[in-house]
């Protein structure tokens, strides 16, 4: 199975690791290293798809650089594709996927759904790749750290090339659009662990601002798919109340920093200064 590394890092560390791996396993490892022509996660995914077209592959597996797959992961997904022709996208089980707390309150504010793997009219989404997820459970989106597609999907849908840098939300944007016309599912026997890299995603305050801006942009752009700006603003109010309340009651500095980021995001939206990231 060919492994494609599309690298946009600012140093040569990744290239050196790939070169070393190829040197140690020249006959058993089909590793392809490329420098990204346009840095940015969404753009790199699109560029990777183009390279995969040239390779003539039938299935593309997207795995983040902080994701560890367990033995049998790829085989389980490809067997599922062969056995279920109507499934166009599959995700694996993420063993350490964080569970949602305060579900009742968050559901009231349209921040989460009681149905895992769903996207709400507010533009918010609920993770669905938990160990208790069943193969038959419907999902509206897949997590970018563990998602695989038939190559034919990309004849109809591509990642949003307007997104830059970290490209927050590129995974649920792409997979949600795919799910409107094709079936997505989770394969319970494909298991991985997502070792989230905190140093690569900015401060809590920055992420709070980016999350607010990105969700507003996405909701506004997808009103034709039944998204609602009124629902977005209601969810943002709830997001702010919950972070302030938790921060004050538990003396949690990170929660208060997130609340400040939400406020900054709201101000930038109102004054037309929100950026595509």
Q: Where are the domains of the chain?
A: 58-199, 202-270
Q: What percentage of the chain reaches a pLDDT higher than 70? A: 97
Please give the Cα distance from 148 to 179 (Å, whole number).
13
Q: What is the pLDDT of residue 26?
A: 84
Given a cut of 70, is residue 277 above it in pLDDT? no
Q: What average pLDDT score do residues 121-139 get?
A: 96
Please give the Cα distance from 170 to 266 (Å, whole number).
21
Spell 206-222 as b/e; 16+ CB within 10 A means b.
bbbbbbbbbbbbbbeeb
Q: What is the pLDDT of residue 105?
A: 97
- On whether the CB atoms of residues 7 and 35 are closer than 8 A, the answer is yes
Q: What is the pLDDT of residue 237?
A: 98
Q: What is the pLDDT of residue 276?
A: 62
CATH fold of 58-199, please?
Spore Coat Polysaccharide Biosynthesis Protein SpsA; Chain A (3.90.550)
Residue 3 phi, psi dihedral angles, 5° rounding: -110, 120
Sorting pLDDT into bands at 50, 70 and 90, what band is 275? low
Sorting pLDDT into bands at 50, 70 and 90, what band is 27? confident
Residue range 178-207, pLDDT digits in tens: 999 999 999 999 999 999 775 555 699 999
Residue range 32-74, pLDDT digits in tens: 999 999 999 999 999 999 999 999 999 999 998 899 999 999 9
Sorting pLDDT into bands at 50, 70 and 90, what band is 273? confident
Given a cut of 90, is residue 141 above it in pLDDT? yes
Please give the Cα distance from 261 to 249 (Å, whole number).
19
Global confidence as pTM: 0.92
Q: Which H helix or E strand runs over 150?
A: strand 146-150
CA dihedral 197, 132, 141, 6 (to 10 degrees): 40
Please give the Cα distance from 213 to 216 (Å, whole number).
5
Q: What average pLDDT score do residues 224-238 get?
A: 97
């Amino acid at each position: 199975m060919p492994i494609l590394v599309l690298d946009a890092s600012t140093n040569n560390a990744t290239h050196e690791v790939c070169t070393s791996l190829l040197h140690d396993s020249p006959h058993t490892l089909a590793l392809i290293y490329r420098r990204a022509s346009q840095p940015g996660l969404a753009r790199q995914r699109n560029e990777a798809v183009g390279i995969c077209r040239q390779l003539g592959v039938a299935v593309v597996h997207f795995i983040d650089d902080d994701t560890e797959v367990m033995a049998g992961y790829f085989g389980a997904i490809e067997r599922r594709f062969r056995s279920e022709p109507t499934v166009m996208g599959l995700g694996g089980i993420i063993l350490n996927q964080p569970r949602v707390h305060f579900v009742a309150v968050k559901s009231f504010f349209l921040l989460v759904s009681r149905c895992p793997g769903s996207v709400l009219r507010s533009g918010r989404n609920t993770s669905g790749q938990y160990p208790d997820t069943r193969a038959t459970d419907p999902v509206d989106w897949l997590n970018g750290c563990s998602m695989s597609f038939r190559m034919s999907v990309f004849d109809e849908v591509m990642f949003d090339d307007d997104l830059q840098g970290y490209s927050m939300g590129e995974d649920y944007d792409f997979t949600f659009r795919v799910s409107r016309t094709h079936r997505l599912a989770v394969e319970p026997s494909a298991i991985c662990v997502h070792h989230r890299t905190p140093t690569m995603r900015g401060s809590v305050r920055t992420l709070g601002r980016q999350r607010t801006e990105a969700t507003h942009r996405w909701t506004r752009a997808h009103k034709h798919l039944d998204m609602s700006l009124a629902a977005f603003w209601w969810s943002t109010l709830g997001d702010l109340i919950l972070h302030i309340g938790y921060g004050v009651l538990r003396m949690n500095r990170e929660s208060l920093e997130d609340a400040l980021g939400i406020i900054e995001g709201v101000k930038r939206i109102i004054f037309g200064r929100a950026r595509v990231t």
